[in-house]
Amino acid sequence: MRYYQIFIAITIGFIFGIVLTFNNYQTFSYSRIMLAYTRNSIEKVLVQIPTCTPDDGARQSALLHTLLQWSQFAQEHNIRYWIAYKTLLGYAQRDGLLPNALDVDILAMAQDTSRLAELRTLNFSSDYELKVHPQWFIVEKTRRSYFDEEGIDFVGPNARFVNRKDHVHINIWPMYDYHPNQTRIEKNMHPQWFIVEKTRRSYFDEEGIDFVGPNARFVNRKDHVHINIWPMYDYHPNQTRIEKNSKPMLTECDRNYKWKSSPKEWTFPLQKCLLSRINVWCPAEPEKIGVHLYGQSFLIKSPIECINGTWKQSHEDISTIEMTTMTHTQTTTTRLSDEEFIEKVLKSVPTCESDDRDRQRYLLHGLQAWSQLAEKYNIQYWISYGTLVGFTQRGGLLPHDLDTDIMILFNDTRKLVEVSKLNFSSTYEIKVQPQWEIAEETKRSYFRKDGINFVAPNARFIHLKTRYHVDIFPAYDFNPIHANKSTEMKQSENLTIYDINYNWLSYPRSWTYPLKTCYFSEIKLLCPAEPKQLVATIYGVSSLTKSDRKCANGSWVRNP
């Protein structure tokens, strides 16, 4: 009996060992497969990223591969971080790398830099390395030093993840959760790790620490590129931290290295996101942070432009579109006229067919005129359907679009009826569908003698001469089939609209409200709260990045 028990115990142990081995092999194999798959995806993504200079393609490839390696490294070692600064703008503008990006930026809580300091001693790769600035605990970068002999040629980030082979890197910037005057002392830590002001940090060239801004760096030794790891502060470093009765805030450096505080809820909880098809972590409210740091217009257009084969800084204030002429004695500012403004915008809209440019011009003029009218008469609306697709794909007009679309709440159509009676313009008119109170478009009629040759929109904002128009569709805060506006007293949690087949589609009200200011082809408009959710729901996820039309032999054709 005893031998039988021993035999069973050995058999169970043997089986358990096989299971563990298989599980480890399966995990390893899966990780290798996913890495190969992602690298293959990067090559496909690179085809979609514009280039300007001869070395753009190689640099873009190196940055994305470095970001992929960092993502895997951070996951393996449970490093909490999120994309930041221009990398976050790239995510907001195009769900990927900015074409002119020279590096990648991420943020990490300042106290997490001690973890990076431990990991930098690991020999985890022959191509990548993590460089942590020895003075990462000093907040002011002007007080940090370069440590060229240690490869620390930076002072802003707290660290860098460096690709030695391709000479690119990821900056790792800090955020802090304590005040410099209330420094916390940890055991077994370098004394300078807790200096918040970067200006008080030093370079440690012998250790390869040639930076003082980041708290750490993840370095690719082979390709000589890196990821900077910057700190994020949950207090304003120039102010005493208030423990009670204050809204949780985080503080970081803005683009001018000035302190910038934002609500902690804009960053946490972190969310998984895809940047050029690479799995990374994003802040909870990336668009709010982008606007906070760079202004609303920078979410749709980069301040860097390709001019004659070179990336150059654009000095235009996109939100006001002003032209500034500098002399040695004075500065003069001239605001562009509406016509000049539209002509400037049209330069970034592709053409295919011979009449594209005229149509695009009238459509943008129509949207601009509508925006001004809506603001004057306090009409609440938001861009929708194909116009919203254009906003998510390219921040503006789809080159092949034949009209533009906006949406209003069903009951607000009454306001359009009143405005349509006014002599508000000699160029535009508003046509309201006489049967707009009938929810289903199949039960409405055409009134062609009155110029009403539409049934689905509740109204149209029409150019009198060209007849190009803005379609104004209704959104119902009740279900047109199962309820009506008179019986449903409380505000619905959903809105109901037409889908692309004119069937009813209900979605959470929070996807629309609160409305937010946005810039569509640089025209100031109102957008729904969650434009990507709406586009993905109405048209499918692929519509976030892929147009349904392409130019072939001088004609717009369906893009399968």
Residue 362 lies in a domain: yes
The pLDDT value given to residue 540? 94
Residue 217 lies in a domain: yes
26 or 63, which is more confident?
Answer: 63
Statement: residue 482 has pLDDT above 90: no
Residues 145 and 234 in one domain: yes
Dihedral angle at the C-alpha atoms of 326, 332, 337, 341, nearest 10 degrees?
Answer: 30
The pLDDT value given to residue 512? 95
Its pTM stands at: 0.51
pLDDT tens figures, 97-118: 998 899 999 999 988 998 999 9
Statement: residue 17 has pLDDT above 60: no
Spatial contact of 91 and 301, defined as CB atoms under 8 Å apart = no
Statement: residue 181 has pLDDT above 60: no
The pLDDT value given to residue 539? 95
Residues 249 and 142 in one domain: yes
Residue 106 lies in a domain: yes
Residues 87 and 235 in one domain: yes
Q: Say how far apart CA 369 and CA 258 lie, in whole Å.
A: 38
**Which phi and psi angles does 157 have, rounded to 5°?**
-70, 160
Strand runs labelled E in 267-402: 271-275, 278-282, 304-307, 310-313, 322-326, 331-335, 382-383
The pLDDT value given to residue 541? 92
The pLDDT value given to residue 532? 94
45 burial type by CB count under 10 A (0-12 exposed, 13-18 middle, 19+ buried): buried
The pLDDT value given to residue 284? 92
Statement: residue 507 has pLDDT above 90: yes
Statement: residue 285 has pLDDT above 50: yes
Share of the chain above pLDDT 70, in %: 78
Residue 462 lies in a domain: yes
Q: Say how far apart CA 392 and CA 280 lie, in whole Å.
A: 20
Distances (CA, A) of 64 to 46, 132, 271, 376, 556: 9, 21, 20, 46, 32
Residue 342 lies in a domain: no
Statement: residue 74 has pLDDT above 80: yes
Residues 389 and 252 in one domain: no
Alpha-carbon torsion (215, 221, 223, 224), positive or negative = positive
Alpha-carbon torsion (47, 51, 54, 60), positive or negative = negative
Residue 504 lies in a domain: yes
Of the listed ranges 178-187, 203-212, 391-400, the least confidently predicted one is 178-187
Last residue of a domain, one of 272, 298, 324: 298
Residues 268 and 142 in one domain: yes
Statement: residue 220 has pLDDT above 80: no
Last residue of a domain, one of 298, 327, 347: 298
Closest-CA residue to 431 (of 457, 410, 409): 457
Q: Say how far apart CA 416 and CA 472 lie, in whole Å.
A: 10
Question: How much is the mean pLDDT over the chain?
Answer: 81
The pLDDT value given to residue 205? 72
The domain spanning residue 472 has which CATH number?
3.30.460
Of the listed ranges 190-199, 282-291, 315-324, 360-369, the least confidently predicted one is 315-324
Residue range(s) defining the domain that contains residue 535 = 356-558
Alpha helices (H) along 49-84: 56-76
**Which phi and psi angles does 162 have, rounded to 5°?**
-110, 135
Of the listed ranges 130-144, 163-177, 191-205, 417-431, the least confidently predicted one is 191-205
Would you place residue 448 in the very low, low, confident or very high pLDDT band (cuts 50, 70, 90)? Answer: very high
Q: Say how far apart CA 49 and CA 64 lie, in whole Å.
A: 11
291-324 b/e with 16+ CB inside 10 Å = b?
A: bbbbebbbbbbbbbebeeeebeeeebebeebeee
Q: Say how far apart CA 191 and CA 135 lie, in whole Å.
A: 9
One-letter amino acid identity for 503? N
Residues 278 and 406 in one domain: no
Q: Which residues contact 303 (CB under 8 A, 6 or more apart)?
A: 294, 313, 314
Q: How many helices (H) and strands (E) does the chain have?
A: 10, 26
Count of domains forming the chain:
2
Residues 399 and 294 in one domain: no
CA atoms within 13 A on the CB side of 183: 14
Statement: residue 15 has pLDDT above 70: no
Residues 103 and 204 in one domain: yes
pLDDT tens figures, 387-417: 999 999 999 999 999 999 999 999 999 999 9
The pLDDT value given to residue 410? 94
Would you place residue 234 in the very low, low, confident or very high pLDDT band (cuts 50, 70, 90)? Answer: low
Residues 294 and 362 in one domain: no
Tell me how long the chain is. 560
Last residue of a domain, one of 249, 282, 298: 298
Residues 293 and 376 in one domain: no
Residues 287 and 388 in one domain: no
Q: Say how far apart CA 383 and CA 473 lie, in whole Å.
A: 10
Residues 272 and 377 in one domain: no
The pLDDT value given to residue 437? 93
Would you place residue 27 in the very low, low, confident or very high pLDDT band (cuts 50, 70, 90)? Answer: very low
Would you place residue 8 in the very low, low, confident or very high pLDDT band (cuts 50, 70, 90)? Answer: low
pLDDT tens figures, 331-348: 333 457 888 889 988 988
**DSSP string for 431-471:** EE-TTTTSS-GGG---BGGGTB--SSSSEEEEETTT--EEE
Would you place residue 487 in the very low, low, confident or very high pLDDT band (cuts 50, 70, 90)? Answer: very low
Spatial contact of 503 and 442, defined as CB atoms under 8 Å apart = no
Residue 304 lies in a domain: no
In this prediction, residues 265-282 reach a mean pLDDT of 91
Distances (CA, A) of 389 to 166, 171, 399, 403: 36, 32, 12, 13
The pLDDT value given to residue 514? 92
Residue 450 lies in a domain: yes
